[in-house]
Structure 1
Amino acid sequence: MDGRLILPGCLHPRETPSVSLLQLGLGWFPETHGGAENVFYHLARHLPHQGVAVAGLVLGRASAVLDGGARIDSFAPPTAPLPQRLAAARAAVAAALRRQPPDLVASHFALNTLPALPALRDRPLVVHFHGPWALESAAEGAGALSVRLKLLVERLVYRRATRFVVLSRAFATILTERYGVPPDRISRVPGGVDAGRFDLPDDRAAARARLGWPQGRPVVLTVRRLVRRMGLAALVDAMVELCRRVPDALLLVAGRGPEAAALQDRIGALGLENHVRLLGFVPDAQLPLAYRAADLCVMPSQSLEGFGITALESLAAGTPLLVTPVGGLPEVVEELDGDLVLAGSDARSIGAGLAEALIGSRRMPDAAACRALVRHRFDWPVIAARTAAVYRDTLS
């Protein structure tokens, strides 16, 4: 039930018919930095090089024409009230369909697609399933009514879809078991990363000097949104065991979110002020340097982790990482020669795994192997080619 894995083939844009695509997204990646926004933005950049002409609609503050020729327009500002946003999405999609009818439509967020369904009529719709919106909300403590409404929105849109694209086998299973989508309508295309942007010439010491990080300490980095299911509370707890075995270890947490205050309180209660630092938001331009400066990265997710683009970013920088056995995370590292999947997602398993990696008793891949995996399997041109193959298959 993992969907059909779309692999790079012999397709070349000059040898295949062109396809016109209307992408419906959530936010605009230069303004908001979520996983769905990341995928939308990079597909818009790279699909034109695969013979797919792209127009896009997102929540945002400005319009843009990307270097590949894709035009992305805002249908409403991110702060617009929900009724205004939905009405604007409906009007913008209808106008786009009248102006230049696309061969197919790709949805990256169910709520922004829902009001456009009547205008789409029988046009093929591909849903990029970035995660179960309702289930994620429930995991973060949303009320029962909110969760039910989100589930209804998802089901209305998914019922209309021709094809689904998922990031991992784990999400293919959720689509089938929780939403009743037949496996033969699911294609698996992993997330991507701009491999060249993260492959810096700086060595670890130079990267730390530029960031002002300490030179003499083993540094573990995690780049996460600070919400419950990301496992940051368990990671902070794991530092007690790690510091027992590696006394000078330092954990740096990059990201922001509603759990920041609770995490800081937890750090203080455990006496870990000298071993755990919350960095807050790290600008996108500094992330390659941050990954390069770390000895090790970790993704301690507890639930509903569909893939983990930050895992790819770490590997692209040549920095190995450990992941919990949750969702699609093991799929990111399964081809690397190393023991990169932790025994569990609890604090004890995380702490023991980090300690073993830092003292050298756990098998880890070298920087060259990490970079090579990303270049060959996860670089955005490779992912765009796989996605274009799904679109052409849908039209055929």
Structure 2
Amino acid sequence: MNVLTTGLGWNEQQPGGLNRYFVDYTNAMKEFGHAELGLVVSEPGVKLHTNLNVANTVTHATGLLSRIRSVRQHTMQALKTFHPDIFNPHFALYASMVSRQSLPDHIPIVTHFHGPWALESKMEEDGKPRIVREARYLLKKQVEQLTYRRSDRFIVLSEYFRDILSNSYGIDHRKIHIIPGAVEHERFKPHQDRGALRQRLGIESGQKLLFCARRIVRRMGIDRLIDAMQAVVQAHPGTRLYIAGDGAMRSDYEAQISRLRLQDYVKMLGRVSNDELVEWYQAADYSVVPTITLEGFGLVTIESMACGTPVFGTPFGGTNEILGRFAPDLLFKDGSAEAMSARIVEALNGRLAIPSREACRQHVLQRYTWSSVAAAVTEVFQDAREMRRKGGAIG
């Protein structure tokens, strides 16, 4: 099938879970045999270095409305030159100007729901006046609902996001298909000489390394993890926490580390490259996912496990679904700093049955591969096309 996809940004310029998913998803669908054309909003005029058929819709510096119009313009052009069988948006805002009437009747809209954009934005605008936050939230949610109203089918990565899509946006459960995310397991894999890698990264012999890769925003719970390190290093002074990522709260968390006198134990790495990310996963003893809300899947969880590294996580959203079905002892009791430190110390004391590094990887290979995702998505596409062909209701 010819699949026209619209995303958010390009992962090389704008790292993040949705953008990483979009790249790997597009590649997987290509390998499965589909012809893919992806449209993303990247830096103005930037040429995307990829062998995938993905275009940057932004040619020059412009405002948000112009960027949305540009995505629509490229979509309309693709109808004439690419002749898509499926329209597959991944971000509501940039698909908002592509109306149902602008597409031929036979082309279904199958939307990937990667999370409640309006609610996520509201939570990350914590410093703004409440009336401003509420107004922006309502406007963004209207955009989302406008876009979702047109969709024939939805793909979500977890039961958690299925429930949000149904309860918050009024989408019929029968339209929603749960297809978990996946990992590029040939890239995310155990290191051949982990000891040498740890030495190169400056990890001393005998040190226990905790690693956290998150966008540095409030809902990710990083402040609680930093707090938890006080009790962890008191019990195990040889433990170190490295945090990769960037975001609005970075300076606040660096100040928190200083205030708690944890500079020797906690280090913020800032943004790391994809290759560096893999190495930190490989080198770590444990990864930590401290997110307190809106964790739709937890791509970092399966990336770490694919590298052989067990993951501790909060019992919320997609993290709960992944770890709860694999090794429930890896879940914190709740999202508090106390719960995090208690479970980590318990593990460092040798009182938890931690899955082996090989067991972590095998769990991912059995359940979270891109070939299985591509096959499942293709079934949804075929079903949506058939319903459009028959002119029947999607449900």
Normalised to the residue count of structure 1, the TM-score between the two structures is 0.91
Q: In the TM superposition, what whole-angstrom CA distance separates every residue of 1:3-29 from its partner, at most 9, and x where no partner exists?
A: xxxxxxxxxxxxxxxx21100111122
Aligned counterpart, 1:240: 230
Q: In the TM superposition, what whole-angstrom CA distance separates every residue of 1:338-363 from its partner, at most 9, and x where no partner exists?
A: 51111000000011111111221122
Change (3 A) 1:78 1:225: farther
Kindly, what percent of the aligned residue pairs are identical?
36
1:62 and 2:52 equivalent? no
User: Which residues of structure 2 form unaligned runs of 5+?
Assistant: 387-395
User: Alignment partner of 2:110: what SS?
Assistant: strand
User: Alignment partner of 1:195: what SS?
Assistant: coil
Letter aligned with residue 205 of structure 1: G
User: Alignment partner of 1:201: what SS?
Assistant: coil
Aligned counterpart, 2:103: 120
Cα distance in 1 between the residues matched to 2:186 and 2:213: 19
Aligned counterpart, 1:80: 62
Moved more, 192-201 or 315-324: 192-201
Aligned counterpart, 2:393: none
Q: In the TM superposition, what whole-angstrom CA distance separates every residue of 1:30-68 from its partner, at most 9, and x where no partner exists?
A: 3222111112111211112323221111112225663xx
Aligned with 1:255 (options 240, 245, 254): 245
1:100 and 2:82 equivalent? yes
State how 1:1-396 maps to structure 2 within 5 Å: 19-60=1-42, 61-63=46-48, 66=51, 70-76=52-58, 80-117=62-99, 118-120=101-103, 122=105, 123-140=107-124, 141=126, 143-337=133-327, 339-396=329-386
Tell me how far 1:301 sits from its aligned partner: 0.3
Tell me how far 1:214 sits from its aligned partner: 2.7
Normalised to the residue count of structure 2, the TM-score between the two structures is 0.91
Moved more, 55-64 or 298-307: 55-64
Tell me how far 1:77 sits from its aligned partner: 5.3
RMSD over aligned Cα, in angstroms?
Answer: 1.6
Tell me how far 1:188 sits from its aligned partner: 0.4
Tell me how far 1:183 sits from its aligned partner: 0.4
Moved more, 347-356 or 199-208: 199-208
User: Which residues of structure 1 form unaligned runs of 5+?
Assistant: 1-18
Cα distance in 2 between the residues matched to 1:209 and 1:79: 44
Letter aligned with residue 115 of structure 2: G
Cα distance in 2 between the residues matched to 1:250 and 1:114: 45
Change (3 A) 1:28 1:235: same
Matched positions, count: 375
Letter aligned with residue 119 of structure 1: S
CA contact (8 A) 1:27 1:78 kept: no
Tell me how far 1:261 sits from its aligned partner: 0.7
Tell me how far 1:326 sits from its aligned partner: 1.2
